[in-house]
Copies of this chain bind each other. A is one copy, B any other.
């Protein structure tokens, strides 16, 4: 392929609406083009990258006995009604009707389709375990697409579904798949991806892991322990607090606190640490508008995901209306009257002498001791873990919060889908059972963007050999010089005949333009043929990461290039 013929423009200016580097570089380098909000077309360089990623994933999925299939993009709504998700999933699920008014959905995940595909096949225990996967376009109608391919609405995804006759068998396979994922990320050039325990969200099931590339531009927050190997998504990380044995308990007392609405104000007004206050955070159930009042230690934040999981339904921050019985800014657990769902975070357990809302305007209580004043209380974990907090695994105050991009996820689904969709098999003993399922996803485009995010400089991406759009970028400086042009042409032919993937720049443009285009295309090995080099009967070989730069005599060029390509290929393949 010649640069002169490569469809797509490259340009210097960072587009104004790009928050993150990979997004900007992929637009600047002619990798993709905006079509609509969260929807892109891919040009050839990126299509070549994604195909290589697909192939790596395929090999690793086949290596753990995965069988590639293809589910439809368009699914009948009836299938999603079987699982219950037609009603339960929000507006990320694109719903529409065909010419006969049959309701359909655009597949955003394929648990239902997977069960439908194997429901008859998997009727005997002898068929288990098995895993089917596909590489297919998906559409999630995200409220806020961002970062180019990092969070797109339409994207290419590998999704796999495994079926087992026991939780133990699922678990064994699950960790086999986890290791296959580690290999995939290593082979695509980001071995630094970590797996973290996560919340299963709408997938159902219990155990799940996200694969996270730690980077400041990521939108996921990860709790990481600096002392042990604990790491978890913020949404899933257990919050642990220790309430120090306090001074003797005081009496509960109503205090006039004019215009004191926030915990910060209250702490200053009463001259107490925020830990000694009991904060109210109020939500409403989406289904019934019912109020959910969560009490939590004043210095902590509520974790909405934990609340949703506990309630088993969606909630939103409350709209506290006049006459609803709640006094915004002055809500406390003592003497709270009204028909609300009241929950307590375990950060309040065992504390005393707390300040809290007085449930009448401009008043707070002091001296609250929940167990004494509010009767039998059930505590649950509803708080966000915080930096400097206690590690749930090693117990030290060693938690830090990092940001990251989720490049993959795996879930233990249990029998949620097999039960809902009545998929059963006959076990050895003749009894009917529901198979246990796991599911395994990787976003292809997001993975490409993540590699770019992890490997780039100011001038462009630095693609690892394993997924680079081409292996060698051949530059002919001064293609109007017949000698240089002839050498470069011959090299181009020769390398292609050896199955080296070459992109060849023989345009009559300045060296500056030629090199900045090469930087944007990010091909790992660059070969420079120029009249000056020709005089010395040699050419230059450099790598995009600038680690290698050498002059090689013309007669040894092909060998030097091919061996550098294999070296970098091996490096990428054997990573981790």
Contacts and interface: CB of A to CB of B under 8 A. Distances in A.
B136 A137 contact: yes
B40 A72 contact: yes
Contact of A70 (B36, B41, B130): B41
Contacts of A261: none
Given A7-B132, A68-B44, A154 B39 contact: no
Given A75-B36, A106-B74, A117-B41, A69 B96 contact: no
A76 to B, nearest CB: 4
A556 interface: no
Interface string A149-161: 0000110100000
Nearest to A70: B42
Interface string A451-463: 0000000000000
A61 to B, nearest CB: 12
B99 A39 contact: no
A86 interface: no
Interface string A84-111: 0000000110101111001010100000
Interface string A116-138: 11101100000000101010110
A153 B41 contact: no
A39 B72 contact: yes
Interface residues of A, number: 60
A96 B99 contact: no
A559 interface: no
A344 interface: no
A117 B33 CA distance: 7
Nearest to A152: B72
Interface string A1-24: 100011111000000000000000
Interface in A19-49: 33, 35-37, 39-44, 46-48
Contact of A35 (B41, B48, B113): B113
8 contacts: A6-B67, A7-B130, A39-B74, A43-B67, A48-B68, A74-B154, A94-B96, A137-B137
Interface in A201-230: none
A248 interface: no
Contacts of A69: 7, 41-44, 47
Contacts of A91: 99
- Most chain B C-beta atoms within 10 Å of own C-beta, residue among A36, A76, A116: A36
The count of identical subunits is 2
Contacts of A79: 35
B130 A74 contact: no
Contact of A113 (B6, B41, B70, B137): B41
A92 B98 CA distance: 9
A139 interface: yes
Contacts of A134: 47
B73 A137 contact: yes
List the 4 closest pairs (A to B, CB-CB), nearest first.
A96-B96, A42-B70, A36-B76, A91-B99
A65 interface: yes
A530 interface: no
A141 interface: yes
A137 to B, nearest CB: 5
A376 interface: no
Contacts of A35: 71-72, 75-76, 79, 113, 116
Contact of A65 (B5, B41, B96, B156): B5
Contacts of A141: 98-99
Contacts of A50: 70
Contacts of A139: 73-74
Given A7-B118, A9-B121, 4 more contacts: A36-B76, A50-B70, A73-B139, A92-B99
A256 to B, nearest CB: 47
A143 interface: yes
A71 to B, nearest CB: 5
B41 A72 contact: yes
A113 B68 CA distance: 29
- Most chain B C-beta atoms within 10 Å of own C-beta, residue among A35, A94, A153: A35
Interface in A153-201: 153-154, 156
Interface in A435-483: none
Contacts of A121: 7-9
A139 B130 CA distance: 30
A65 B4 CA distance: 13
A458 B245 CA distance: 84
A67 B132 contact: no
A47 to B, nearest CB: 5
A139 B99 CA distance: 12
A42 B117 CA distance: 9
Nearest to A137: B73
Contacts of A99: 91-92, 141, 143
Contacts of A5: 65, 67, 130
Contacts of A8: 121
B154 A116 contact: no
A267 to B, nearest CB: 41
B116 A71 contact: no
Contacts of A153: 74, 98
A118 B33 CA distance: 9
